[in-house]
Amino acid sequence: MNQSMVLTGDRPTGQLHLGHYVGSLTQRLTLQNQYPLFVLIADTQVLNNDVIKGSHVKENILSLMRSYLACGLDPQKVIFILQSRVPALFELTQYLSNLVSLSLVMRNPTIKTENKLYNDNEQLNMGFLNYPIAQTADVILFGANLVPVGEDQVPILQFANDVIDKFHYQFNTSMFKTIEPLLSHYPRLIGIDGVNKMAKSLNNAIFLFDDEKSLKEKINKMYTDPGHIRVSDPGQVQGNVVFSFLDVFMRDKQHLEALKEHYKKGGLGDVTLKKLLFEEINIILKPIKEKEFAYSDKELLDILQSGTSYANIIAQDNMEKIRDVIFR
């Protein structure tokens, strides 16, 4: 258990989009060559905010696996895990819940934030309150200690470390590694509306498997500077959605700076800029789309099942040790 291991994952809520690519998938492509990498498809977590979301989980799991492999995650290196098929995760979550007070959960900033985003008009449900505990179990059951997160998600890991501390103290052990964040260098990608972060539910996403026609249409919808009417007019770069995207996707940063100066002075048209953005994004998406159907549904499920079986061996072994500590 001394080697560093990475655990990360996604909820199977729909197709992956450019926000995922920038925020996590590129990082995973690097990580798979540096550490043992577990990628957990969090299908039971999907039910936390809305049980009815269970209705598309099967197709969303396939969609995730298809995206992962198309992006270049290597099934020889990455251990893909289907959360609902690791029984010890449920068991460990229940044991850990005995160590966690309601007030500790309520203080968790992620619970506060997500509650605001999704549940404002609903009553808090127990599944939602249990979810940071379940996330802690996700990490420690497999012996992982590194978790890729954005700055805003660091409190989740602090919560997990609090739970680990309580476990260690309560059972006089030091069996779990401290969890450390692998901070993502990218802020969350904005959506094509230029207002909210990119999210399927907000209808502002560019999906990894969008065809070129859709990609063009979406880029054409982006706001630039409403005052920039004729090509010759000076334009605003600040708050200009196309430039926000170019900031992320344009590889030649020097050229980008020159374009910004040109745009501010006037004489650079939105159509030219949008064409450029299309090309920069298409360079990323084209090879991904070419691999969209490299694996059949059955092959994708086989890879997921094989990873899950391997993960279950680790999980059962660790769960045995955890039970021995609890029921000593």
Report the nearest approach of a second copy to the CB of residue 41 (Å). 12
Report the nearest approach of a second copy to the CB of residue 47 (Å). 5
Contact region with a second copy (CB under 8 A), list: 93-101, 206-214, 273-281, 285-293: 93-101
Residue pointed to by tokens 């989980």:
57
Contact region with a second copy (CB under 8 A), list: 32-40, 86-94, 241-249, 283-291: 86-94
Backbone angles phi, psi at 17, to 5 degrees: -130, 180
Our CB check for a second copy shows the closer of 159 and 243 to be: 159
Q: How many residues bind a second copy (CB under 8 A)?
A: 42
Binding a second copy by CB under 8 A: which of 62, 91, 154, 269? Answer: 91
Binding a second copy by CB under 8 A: which of 30, 34, 74, 94? Answer: 94
Residue 205 near residue 17 (C-beta atoms within 8 A): yes
Token code pair at residue 95 = 């044991």
> Does the protein bind a second copy through residue 102 (CB under 8 A)?
yes
Our CB check for a second copy shows the closer of 11 and 260 to be: 11
CA distances from 132 to 36, 136, 182, 276 (A): 23, 6, 18, 42
> Does the protein bind a second copy through residue 123 (CB under 8 A)?
yes
Strand order in the sheet with 37-41: 78-82, 37-41, 6-10, 146-149, 180-183
Our CB check for a second copy shows the closer of 30 and 94 to be: 94
Residue 122 identity: E
Binding a second copy by CB under 8 A: which of 40, 88, 157, 273? Answer: 88
Cα 190 to Cα 245: distance, rounded to the nearest angstrom: 8
> Does the protein bind a second copy through residue 121 (CB under 8 A)?
no
Looking at the DSSP bridge assignments, the partners of residue 149 are 183
Cα 315 to Cα 311: distance, rounded to the nearest angstrom: 6
Cα 323 to Cα 93: distance, rounded to the nearest angstrom: 13
Our CB check for a second copy shows the closer of 88 and 147 to be: 88
> Does the protein bind a second copy through residue 100 (CB under 8 A)?
yes
> Does the protein bind a second copy through residue 161 (CB under 8 A)?
no
Residue 263 near residue 254 (C-beta atoms within 8 A): no
> Does the protein bind a second copy through residue 103 (CB under 8 A)?
yes
> Does the protein bind a second copy through residue 48 (CB under 8 A)?
yes
Looking at the DSSP bridge assignments, the partners of residue 207 are 17
Residue 43 near residue 57 (C-beta atoms within 8 A): yes
> Does the protein bind a second copy through residue 124 (CB under 8 A)?
yes
> What is the maximum span of the chain, computed from C-alpha positions, in angstroms?
78
Q: Which of 36, 31, 78 is nearest to 177 (CA)?
A: 36
Site for a second copy in 274-313 (CB under 8 A): none
Binding a second copy by CB under 8 A: which of 37, 42, 73, 133? Answer: 133
| Contacting positions for a second copy (CB under 8 A) | 43-44, 47-48, 51-52, 54-55, 57-58, 84, 87-88, 90-91, 93-95, 97-103, 105, 123-130, 133-134, 170-171, 323, 326-328
